[in-house]
Amino acid sequence: MAQNIPKISILVTYEGLFSLFLVILCCCNSLKSQNISDESLAGFAAAIATWYGPPDGAGTDGGACGYEDAVEKPPFSARVSAGNDALFKEGKGCGTCYAVKCQKTSNPACSGSPVRVVITDYCPGSCNADPIHFDLSGIAMGALAEPGQDDQLRIAGIIDVLYQRVQCNYGRQKIMFNVDKGANPFFFATLIEYQNGGGDLDSAEIKSVGSDQFLPMEQLFGATYKIDSPHELKGPFSIRLTQGEFKRSIVAKNVSCSPNDNPACSGNAVTITITDECPDACNNDPVHFDFSSTAFGYLAKSGEAENLRKAGRINVSYQRVACAYPNQNIVFKVDSGSNPNYFSIAIEYENGDGDLAAVEIQPSGSNQWFSMQQVFGVTYKYDVPTGTNAPFSIRLTQIESKKTIVAQNVIPGDWKAGSSYTSSVNF
């Protein structure tokens, strides 16, 4: 039920006015504490819990709230749940946090310790046979168990639990707005993530630059809100959020590249690819991008590229995104030093993660895969045993997604050093 949301991230402080820099690529958050907040809305009450998806997974990829693969990563960290009507609340319950625990009287594998979960999906049908029903991710279900007993608890399938509403606390993570890919000057939609406190939203309102009026946004689905306008919407935008249970309001003012950082900034997201290392002084910063001149210029307003380059160094915001090379399959470039006893290739244009956990080669007539060794960067080698013949098949495994793909017989029998061979596959 999730819709595709481009990775345009916007950082917000609860104090209201904030600085926001440029959105680029590749975001990694540290794991936040899963401790339960002492402040809750009610005492523990009885409910039913089941689990879905892989045992070590986040249930489904995103779910009906639209969070997509964010559910697998910090600060959600896969401790998420689908909820029945009473919890999901037609999407108004998206982002709410609950402490859930099970007692040994329910199952001997239960630890009795509460685990905080976030509602990120909807559980329809039989889940509504119970007044309150949590359909937990495999990881969340396992977290209810004694150490080493998570599989035994999951085997039960359905258990009695106790739950209570608690405040969400994402530590240093700020609110994020992911702009819908269908947004345009007359239609704006955004997914809203990581609200502390109640976690839910009673309303979202938007104000264009130069206006003194906040306009109501309509819930599109889950945690995504939209506005249709007969007139062109002009950024930067301010967004006012009001929580449901706690009735707290905050304003994210002028959400765009901060003119206090550099007036030449456009505030538009630019997707870049890591192709080189920046050593020495770059490592004085936790994360440092050393752009090409062209990429740096793309961050600027129209006609302002040179002014931005003159700054030399600027603050940016970044987030990791899936690589996408439309109509381009993976290319294998044979190293110029390759010969019948030594074979080396550079691997280019992988969609998805873009990085590789393993590269393997299968010679002609063999049913066995042999590991290739990383030489440097995206170049891998194989010391070819005597009697080994092409064509070669290449198997690639990505790091983050664990996806595997095979380029069958991609290196022909008459391969030549220095030549490139385009496969028929991509992630």
Weakest-pLDDT range from 175-184, 313-322, 326-335: 313-322
Closest to 261 (Cα-Cα) out of 217, 204, 312: 312
- pLDDT confidence of residue 62: 66
What are the start-end ranges of the E strands in 167-280?
A: 176-179, 187-193, 203-207, 215-216, 218-221, 224-228, 237-242, 249-255
Mean pLDDT over residues 220-235, rounded? 88
> The tokens of 282 are what?
């770059």
- pLDDT confidence of residue 272: 86
Instruction: Say which residues have a Cβ less than 8 Å from residue 272's Cβ, sequence separation at least 6.
Output: 24, 25, 289, 291, 295
Q: Round to whole Å and give the CA distance between 385 and 222.
A: 57
Mean pLDDT over residues 362-374, rounded? 96
Mean pLDDT over residues 273-298, rounded? 87
Whether residues 339 and 290 fall in one domain? no
Beta bridge partners of residue 216, listed in sequence order: 205
DSSP string, 19-64: ---EE-S---PPPPP-PPPS-BSS--EEEEEEEES-TTS-SSSSTT
Beta bridge partners of residue 48, listed in sequence order: 133, 160
- pLDDT confidence of residue 255: 52
- The band of 247, judged by pLDDT with boundaries at 50, 70 and 90, is low
Q: Indicate the residue among 299, 321, 343 that finishes a domain.
A: 321
- The band of 61, judged by pLDDT with boundaries at 50, 70 and 90, is low
Q: Determine contact, residues 400/353, Cβ cutoff 8 Å.
A: yes
Question: Per the structure, how many domains does the chain have?
Answer: 4
**Sequence letter at residue 77:** S
pLDDT higher than 60, residue 317: yes
- pLDDT confidence of residue 295: 87
Q: Determine contact, residues 372/361, Cβ cutoff 8 Å.
A: yes
- pLDDT confidence of residue 179: 85
Provide the 8-state DSSP code for 87: H
- pLDDT confidence of residue 14: 26
Whether residues 387 and 299 fall in one domain? no
- pLDDT confidence of residue 330: 97
- The band of 245, judged by pLDDT with boundaries at 50, 70 and 90, is low
Instruction: Say which residues have a Cβ less than 8 Å from residue 415's Cβ, sequence separation at least 6.
Output: 334, 338, 390, 391, 392, 421
Whether residues 126 and 103 fall in one domain? yes
> The tokens of 407 are what?
């380029």
Mean pLDDT over residues 363-374, rounded? 96
pLDDT higher than 60, residue 201: yes
- pLDDT confidence of residue 334: 97
- pLDDT confidence of residue 261: 57
Whether residues 161 and 197 fall in one domain? no
- pLDDT confidence of residue 38: 38
Whether residues 36 and 131 fall in one domain? yes
pLDDT higher than 60, residue 35: no
Instruction: Say which residues have a Cβ less than 8 Å from residue 97's Cβ, sequence separation at least 6.
Output: 37, 116, 117, 118, 119, 165, 166, 167, 168, 169, 199
Q: Determine contact, residues 421/415, Cβ cutoff 8 Å.
A: yes
Whether residues 284 and 192 fall in one domain? no
Q: Determine contact, residues 252/10, Cβ cutoff 8 Å.
A: yes
pLDDT higher than 70, residue 28: no
Whether residues 65 and 135 fall in one domain? yes
Closest to 17 (Cα-Cα) out of 246, 239, 242: 239
Q: What is the CATH number of the domain that holds 388?
A: 2.60.40.760
Whether residues 316 and 355 fall in one domain? no
Beta bridge partners of residue 345, listed in sequence order: 334, 380
Domain span at residue 220? Answer: 176-255
> The tokens of 264 are what?
């030449």
Per-residue pLDDT tens over the stretch 202-221: 889 998 878 888 999 999 99
Provide the 8-state DSSP code for 424: S
Q: What is the CATH number of the domain that holds 149?
A: 2.40.40.10
- pLDDT confidence of residue 248: 59
Mean pLDDT over residues 23-50, rounded? 52
Return the SS3 of 281.
Answer: helix
Q: Whole-model pTM? A: 0.53
Q: How long a stretch of residues is the chain?
A: 427
Q: Indicate the residue among 101, 132, 166 that finishes a domain.
A: 166
Weakest-pLDDT range from 205-219, 246-260, 361-375: 246-260
- pLDDT confidence of residue 80: 96
pLDDT higher than 80, residue 22: no
Give the chain's end-to-end CA distance (angstroms, integer). Answer: 22
Whether residues 226 and 278 fall in one domain? no
- pLDDT confidence of residue 5: 34
Whether residues 152 and 49 fall in one domain? yes
Closest to 388 (Cα-Cα) out of 418, 413, 406: 413
Give the highest mean pLDDT range of 60-69, 82-91, 200-209. Answer: 82-91
Whether residues 246 and 289 fall in one domain? no
Provide the 8-state DSSP code for 356: -
- pLDDT confidence of residue 312: 84
> The tokens of 114 are what?
């509460």
pLDDT higher than 60, residue 26: no
